Structure 1
């Protein structure tokens, strides 16, 4: 695993726990974690169960005992590391968004395509697909339970930047992160909407804005959670993104559904509020990450006196991913999606199949994010999203 910290902890938990609950066709061995600071990487290895640590990702990629490279670094390093790993014959799991630019994402996807011809696999980490309630929503839509899709509302609301004096970190710098709320959390809303509906966006119209334009720098040596200095730096990414989108026309339908999206780090009181509601001709599904063990389902085919949203407690062994876990009613948490990610990746590699979401899927999301930025710069005009070849 290259990188550590918040996402490194989540991915490490996934690698540690998945083989203890699921019967995997191959046993993951947590060989080495890589970081820029030797002492910090060594502490991460000891804390999360990695056998070794290193400060040289290139040396790790060259090791013959390494089969998979898991990338959890800031976006500005994804392309270089992923392409080198794929060319070295390593399977790759890369955190979202896939890259900082469409050009980088295209280069990564091209490298993944070349590697696939040699049996090497690549997957991007849109982990919320693997929350059982979100997967169940996808299954209900695919089974036709809500009928023809008419409308989608998706939002990802957080409030961790409402304090204007919160220090400037890499996530607020365009050269490191690529974009702000749009790419960091808006990418999740886009991907989850397409996953649940089975449809891709074809055009968008939107606006992005930066609410707090400068913040105090972190005091030298204080770390990401350290104290602020008296110096200030510019925030070069968006704090909020609001956009509309139109999907492709579903097979057998004459209507291309519309969607509304919101991504913000300034939604006071919302901690990790990813919500998505898909409305159809026969019903609707509604998911809220802050209630991640529940899915609201509306069946419009019932008699009028019986209609209304009902809450499905998604903890039964018949529900996606849940059979190996706890008895019904015993809840899962945020970290379990990362174990499910490991399961899907390992099983796909073993079967010689393309894991989902692919780098091609990640490239498409990158094109959506880019189109939103260009739409905002052009006065919220509608921007078409180039059609990608589906892998």
Structure 2
């Protein structure tokens, strides 16, 4: 399709730090590698500090900068609002954008509470009646090996699901002198490891299996309850520059649950796994086989077929870089692996394709709410010491 024939999609992004940089990379790259039915344009980026957001716009490739996200809703050249801010702002921005007739991409977790997520889903459903779409950014779904695992399970290759195990391991807080940030402030972040990385673990389990968690029991722990407050810290509720401040979220969460199909699931989310920078491990055992994935080897999926002869049975190592694997044909020759940033590009591709044909993109705000309900049940279970239905 010629460039002139492609409808324009003006994107406005709120926030320009870690996730903002990742989303910017995706919007820059998407139209250069994929033949899209719409032409996304990086129209405006928003940040509170005028000088810093102007610098970010130049570095990241945005055409203009704003200091108030409400300006995006007033601009006729903005069609989609991409939310890359702390969780306490998601509901306000997303609901207002949808009501203003803007499509919305919102980073995970969808909100800081079930009530906020429910309000966002209600707004999304109202907007959908007018053709306005919304999506939550569970980006790891777009890793090609995860997509292949989902396909194998959906095709019945591992049979009835019996066990699901998911670990998300990081170590960036294992040093007790690591400073406070907004991610350690419950008012801003909603929760700690549970919401930040445990949300991904829950979504991956539900996405790959096609089932939902119906009950959970959990434990949560804060290992370091006070941390230094750097004078340059921003976004904290209080105590900035005052020596130390209280950590009000969890450092680690462990929980188990039951899937809607009857299978058992276990989860671990921690920021205290020394030596693990961003380790995501998923294994699913079924009546006919298993799949296993480790993000530290993200271009590989391990698949076990129980029907193989015992003499040669074993996990098959699949390098997921063939042209017929999900998303791969747009990239490099077989064997030339992809990286962390490519999943954000694939997310943008799927969103643009859905918007072009008027379809609801996935994962939806309703999917985000489903994860939020699991997280809420885990937190309540950890407080009460009891099993809770989701």
> What range is the shorter-chain TM-score in?
over 0.9
Partner of 1:42: 54
Deviation at 1:218, TM superposition (A): 1.2
Matched, 1:20 2:35: no
Within 5 A, what are the aligned runs for 1:1-391? 1-220=13-232, 231-249=243-261, 256-379=262-385, 381-385=386-390
> What secondary structure does 1:323 align onto?
helix
Residues matched between the structures, number: 375
CA contact (8 A) 2:180 2:247 kept: yes
> What secondary structure does 2:254 align onto?
strand
Partners of 2:33 and 2:317 in 1: CA distance: 27
Deviation at 1:229, TM superposition (A): 5.6
Residues 137 and 184 from structure 1, CA distance in 2 versus in 1: closer, same or farther, beyond 3 angstroms?
same
Partner of 2:9: none
Partner of 1:388: none
Partners of 1:191 and 1:212 in 2: CA distance: 27
Residues 135 and 221 from structure 1, CA distance in 2 versus in 1: closer, same or farther, beyond 3 angstroms?
closer
CA contact (8 A) 2:181 2:234 kept: no
Consecutive unaligned residues of structure 1, counting only runs of 5 or more, are 250-255, 386-391
The CA deviation string for residues 210-239 of structure 1, in whole angstroms up to 9 with x for no partner, is: 010000001137999xxx966000000000
CA contact (8 A) 2:233 2:241 kept: no
Give the TM-score, by structure 2 length.
Answer: 0.95
Deviation at 1:121, TM superposition (A): 0.3
Partners of 2:235 and 2:263 in 1: CA distance: 45
Partners of 2:234 and 2:191 in 1: CA distance: 24
Deviation at 1:351, TM superposition (A): 1.1
Q: CA-atom RMSD, angstroms?
A: 1.3
CA contact (8 A) 2:138 2:200 kept: yes
The CA deviation string for residues 40-75 of structure 1, in whole angstroms up to 9 with x for no partner, is: 111110011000001011011111111000000000
Give the TM-score, by structure 1 length.
Answer: 0.94
Partners of 1:374 and 1:24 in 2: CA distance: 44
